[in-house]
Structures are given as C-alpha cells and as structure tokens.
Amino acid sequence: MNPVLEPLFRTVRATHPKADLRLIERAYDVAAYHHRDQKRKSGDPYITHPLAVATILAELGTDDETLCAALLHDTVEDTAYSLDELRGDFGDTIGSLVDGVTKLDKVKFGDAAQAETVRKMVVAMSRDIRVLIIKLADRLHNMRTMRYLPEHKRHQKSRETLEIFAPLAHRLGMNTIKWELEDLAFAMLYPKRYDEIARMVSERAPRRDLFLQEVIEKVSGDLREAKIRAVVKGRPKHYYSVYQKMIARDVAFDDIYDLVGIRVLVDSVRDCYAALGTIHARWNPVPGRFKDYIAMPKFNMYQSLHTTVIGPEGKPVELQIRTHAMHHRAEYGVAAHWKYKEEVGSPGPTGKVKPGSDMAWLRQLLDWQKETSDPGEFLESLRFDLSVSEVYVFTPKGQVIALPEGATPVDFAYAVHTEVGHRCIGARVNGRLVPLESRLGNGDTVEIFTSKSPDAGPSRDWLKFVKSGRARNKIRQWFSKERRETAIEAGKEAIGRAMRKQGLPLQRLMSGEALLALARDLRYPDVSALYAAVGEGHIAAQAVVQKLVASIGGVDSAEEDIAETSLPTRLRGRPRGGGAGVVVAGDADVWVRLSKCCTPVPGDEIVGFVTRGHGVSVHRADCTNVQQLKEQPDRLVEVSWSPSDDSVFLVAIQVEALDRPRLLSDVTRTLSDQHVNILSASVTTSRDRVAISKFTFEMGDPKHLGHVLKAVRSIQGVFDVYRVSGAGN
C-alpha cells in the first residue's frame, strides 16, 4: 500500500468499513500520474488537493465511489485525461460524479459563467446528491489554503462561499462543513470584524467556562438521578454565528454571549422527552423558546428538542436534546445517509430518516433552473432562497408547503402553480379574507381565489412584497424584464448624449446625488426608473439635463462648484494665509481656505486653486476633486505650509465598530478626553451590525492625531479607525 494513503485509509476503515480500498488506491494512482507535473499556488504538488478533499469526505463517512470521484475530480478539467477514458477505467457512476463536479470551460468569465457553474452543479446534484458533497469538500479545502491567492480572488471566492456554498451545506444539514466554511470566509472578507469578535470571545472565555461547567454538572446529576443515560457537553460558539446573531437579533455582543449552549445526547427518542422534563423541573423554561424538531424535523432532516431555560444567576441557557443518531445527522447531514441506507420510511423511533425523503428542495431548484433563462437571475434567486429561514403552511386539503419567512399569499399561489399565481386576485387565511401582502405564519391554512378572466395577470406591485425566488422570477417573466433593461440603457445613453452636447462634466453629474434627488422630485422611485422613463419616451432627455443643471445652480456651478464643496475653516484672527497655516507663493496676503472635501493638514502635499470671489482653496494633492481642477491650469497656484501658533486645522476621521449600546457616547467621550473640539458627527448603522461614525474636529497640532486614533481604537467593539479625505482612506 502507498504510505501516503495510510491516513486516508485509517479514516475510511473507521467510518466506512466495507469500502473498496483497492479501487480508491487505483483512483489515487491515476490522479497522481495525471497531476504529476502540476503545482498548487502554495508550491505543493497538485495531488495534495484531491487527497485532502477525499480525506474530508472520508471523515463524513461517504462511500468509496464518492472518494474515488473526489480523488479524480480535477483530472478531466486540468489534465489530458478525458471523461470517456475515466468512464472506461472506473465506470459510469464515478464518471458521472466527476462530470458533475467539473467546472465549466475556463474560457467563460464573469458572473454569468459563475451562475452557469452553479446551475450545472444543481442539475448534476439533482441526479446524484454526492456531486454537491464533493463540491463542498473541494471548496472547504480551497478555503483552508486561500491565503496563497491574490486578494481580489480571495474576496470573490469568500463571498461565493458565504452566499452559496455555506448555505448549501446548511440546506443539506452538513453543519460541520457549514461552520468551518463560514468562519474561514468571514475571516477572509472581514478580518478586522473577525479579530474583534475573537478578542471579545477570548476575554470572556474563563468566566463563561466556569458558568458552563456548573450547568453541565447540574444537568448531568439530574439525569443520573432520573436513570437517563446521557452525554452532556458545551456547544462550541462559531465566530460567524455569533456575528450573525448580533445582526439577526439586533442585540449587543454581551447579550448574545450570555446565551450559553448545552447539548444533551441520549439513547432514544423517549429519553429526549424525559430529559426535557427533568431539565424543566430544575429551571423555568423561557416562554416561546421551545421547539420540537423531533416531531416536525427541519427541511434538512435536522431533529432535536430546543429549549431555553433561566439557569444559575438568572442567565438564559440554551439546550439541545437529541439522540446519538440525530446528532450524527445534524453534524454530517445528507452525508450521513450512507450510514442509514438500509433504513426505510419516515422518521421512526430511532430518529433516522430515509435517504432523500426530505430533499424536495433539490427538485424545486431543478424546476427553477429550467424556468429561469437568465443565469444571473437564477443565481440571485438561489442566493435569496438560501439566506432565509422557512414557514410551513397548509393547502385547504392539508398538503404542507414550505415558503421563505415573511412569505405572502402570492408566494403561496406561485408555489402551488404558476397559473394560480398569475390569476391570483385574493386570499383567505385560516378562514379570514386577508390582503395579498399580508405575511403568512407557521401552520396557516391558505386558500387562493383566482380570476377567470383571460386577461388576468400579476401586478408589478407584487414585486415589492413577494419573498420567494419562484414568485419573483415568474412575475418578472410576465413583465418582460428585458424590455425594461433596454429602456434603461437607452435612457442613460440619451441623457449622456444631451450632456455631451452642452459640454457638461458627464461623470460628475451622472454619478452624484443630484440625479437621485431629481428622480425623486419627478416621482420616480430610483435613478433606474428615471432612465427607463427617458428610454420609453415619457420624458425628454434634454428636459432631464436642464432640470439637473438648474438643481445645482446653473452651468457655471456645474462646471466648477460640483468639485468645490469646501467650506472655510473657522479661523482665529485675520482670514489670511497665516491663520490657515498656508502661504501662497508670491503673495503672503491672499485669503486662503482649507478645503473641507479633503481636510488637508501640515505634512500633506497640497495645491492651491484660485476660486471666483473666495480667495484660494487648498486641496490635498491626491484629492479626487483635484483631477477636475487641473483642467484649468491657469487657476492653479503654488502653496506651502507655514503654520503658526494660532493656526487651526480641520481633521475628519472614520470609526468602524461592531454596533452596541453607548458606542457613540464612548467614542465622543474619548475624543473630548483627547481635548479635540468636535464640529460635526454622523453615524450610520448597516444591516450587518457595523456602525460607521464620521467625526470632523479642529486640531492645532496635527501630530496629536496619532494619539487620538490610538485612543479611539482601544474602545471595545472598534475594529478600525482612520483619517479620511477626498482621496479615500
């Protein structure tokens, strides 16, 4: 036996004793031969990658055909070894698995190619789910070795992982893969947020571990007294899931972290419910926090009892109670099927599920990919479907239909049938008439009323509230999405032509806030709708340009003042060069103002621009507005720093932090402790729980800025702080 394969075979013997080791060794030999001259970006021999993928799959307990396909998965794409040769050597099953995993021809680039890759993967996996399992293991090993790729590739792959592959792993119940993919991608995409959460977790670990130990001892003791055999252990917290809970529950880190997780593993379903009763006898359960996923398993075959109780010190403790078989399936999901292939029927007393019995979601994906002609739209639908949790509602005949959380009767209608969706005119939920945009809840019985008119069709307003990808796709198809996009492009082009005719600064005008404000003034929801209106002839391009120029103060303003959004610094003493700390070459008595768009301070390279009636404005040399000012070289003047004791400078900084209560007061207190005079502040909080604060303040000595930044960076939750200017960070 090849000694390189010994670790793999050791794992295979433990998880799948009946596997054909000779077949696996032959697959390795073929792969090693064909990849012999290839290296990975890390410099390692290429064969290390297929071997690592096969090892990941062996740990999941997959069968020998899957392991062979994993070893051979890159040969057809990256070597001279053809698919026909592979089928001849290893048979049709392994050949089909490798073909399913093989990516599209490398000539195709961009989002469409990526969407087509996902689409091909969906088609292949609908025939054999093992294709997707190999793909997930392949992505996991690539994420583990991602540091050798260039930064833009790392970000692209990590985003793909978070949006597509980790949710797919979740859909298939493969939580061990999902958690690792999420944490690796999170660390790659948002290293500063990741490090801040890791630091906060490690700071609280000792106190948390003591509390956890106390809870485990009490639960174990109670179960022993009740004669229930159980394994009780703490649940690991994954950094990305902590971050996601901060976003989803809209709470601060400390509130999340008090939610200590305990897992109780017992021998039978009866013991699950007995253990639940024992735990509730000691601690009061939190109302509304009990979930029975044993009686009603999740879409991905997951089964467990979930309860939250008020534990010691009045802190909430979350417990999951399940059998060992359920635990194996919760960790490995669909990959655990090979353990239970001989099982038949629905979840029985052992808590095991028939292979493929709950995989209707895959068939739904297959329907989508047939009916969605635009691959980009398919990918968008897939991302959306993967990112939401579900509600289960009933048809009048009692059939269960799964819909995304927040779904409406329109989503339900399209889930029943496309024609039912198109002709939907009303709905009755639990016997009561409801508006079409009302949200459905778990267990609702929904009845749809349809129109018999031959002209019946969906309303464009439905797109504002439908949640499911299927409904969205069908409504868009009805309204011929392509026609609108053509109108948008035509409108954009017409406005551009009209601006060029007048010699206006096209890029500045069309990318500014002015266009959005104008669209809203004209009663259009966004800029795209304004473009579409021009393209469809509802409004003339010339009229739009005239209104746009008028809104920013005429043609002269459009040419000059768009760039000049600077305000004079408040100066002590005479508003001349000395007070601003800047002198103009050849004339020390010219009024100088420091531009607010880039807030220059001593040490920055600067240029001066003679404005009309406002003296000389001073910009940083790398300010974005300087490029436009250089088009009038006769108005540029040489300036140099000459700060005096009474010079005052404006400095703008940006603070990025994980949002929490009292964050703003902590930052402002720290700034005032540093003796800076805050002139303006703005705070925005994004949906991903990141608070971005911008502060503008006066400062006499710019060298003091380093101390200010250091002090702000030490505040809990702050993961980045830097000076901002017109040039970026």
308 pLDDT above the threshold of 70: yes
337 in any annotated domain: no
679 in any annotated domain: yes
Query: What's the half-sphere exposure (Cβ side, CA atoms, 13 Å) at 18?
Result: 4
Q: What is the pLDDT of residue 91?
A: 87
142 pLDDT above the threshold of 80: yes
Reported confidence tier of residue 356, pLDDT bands at 50, 70, 90: very low
CATH number of the domain enclosing 432 = 3.10.20.30
Q: Which region among 109-118, 551-560, 579-588, 639-648 has the lowest average model confidence (pLDDT)?
A: 551-560
Active site residue 59: no
Same domain, 654 and 693: yes
Higher pLDDT, 558 or 630: 630
409 in any annotated domain: yes
Reported confidence tier of residue 578, pLDDT bands at 50, 70, 90: very low
575 pLDDT above the threshold of 50: no
Same domain, 206 and 114: no
CATH number of the domain enclosing 225 = 3.30.460.10
User: Where does a domain end: 448, 477, 506?
Assistant: 477
449 in any annotated domain: yes
Same domain, 82 and 156: yes
Same domain, 503 and 388: no
Same domain, 288 and 265: yes
Distance, in Å, from the CA atom of 257 to the CA atom of 236, rounded to the nearest integer, reads 12
Q: Which region among 375-389, 391-405, 436-450 has the lowest average model confidence (pLDDT)?
A: 375-389
CATH number of the domain enclosing 666 = 3.30.70.260
Reported confidence tier of residue 509, pLDDT bands at 50, 70, 90: low
Number of domains in the chain: 6
Indicate yes or no: pTM above 0.85.
Answer: no
Same domain, 637 and 712: no
* Percent of the chain with pLDDT strictly greater than 70: 79
121 pLDDT above the threshold of 70: no
Residue type, 606: I
Domain extent at residue 709? 649-723
Same domain, 447 and 523: no
Active site residue 78: yes
CA distances (Å), 196 to each of 201, 243, 506, 661, 715, in order?
9, 10, 42, 16, 11
Q: What is the pLDDT of residue 413?
A: 94
pLDDT in tens, 13-60: 887 777 788 888 889 899 898 888 888 888 888 889 999 999 988 888
User: Where does a domain end: 477, 502, 517?
Assistant: 477
729 in any annotated domain: no
**Both structure tokens of 249:** 């529950």
CA distances (Å), 151 to each of 98, 701, 722, in order?
29, 37, 21
Same domain, 659 and 632: no
DSSP symbol at 190: -
351 in any annotated domain: no
CATH number of the domain enclosing 158 = 1.10.3210.10
Question: What are the DSSP calls for 487-552, one per residue?
Answer: HHHHHHHHHHHHHHHHT--HHHHHHSHHHHHHHHHTT-SSHHHHHHHHHTTSS-HHHHHHHHHHHT
Same domain, 39 and 134: yes
Q: Which residues pair with 254 in a beta bridge?
A: none
pLDDT in tens, 641-682: 877 766 777 788 899 988 887 888 888 888 888 877 788 888
Same domain, 637 and 654: no
Same domain, 146 and 207: no
Q: What is the pLDDT of residue 141?
A: 92
Distance, in Å, from the CA atom of 575 to the CA atom of 589, rounded to the nearest integer, reads 9
576 in any annotated domain: no
630 in any annotated domain: yes
Strands (E) in 390-519, as ranges, are: 390-394, 400-404, 424-429, 432-434, 446-450
Q: 20, 25, 59, 78: which one is catalytic? A: 78
Distance, in Å, from the CA atom of 235 to the CA atom of 245, rounded to the nearest integer, reads 15
Same domain, 230 and 125: no
Strands (E) in 238-294, as ranges, are: 260-266, 291-292
Q: 20, 25, 59, 77: which one is catalytic? A: 77
User: Where does a domain end: 288, 312, 332?
Assistant: 332
Distance, in Å, from the CA atom of 662 to the CA atom of 660, rounded to the nearest integer, reads 7
Higher pLDDT, 184 or 685: 184
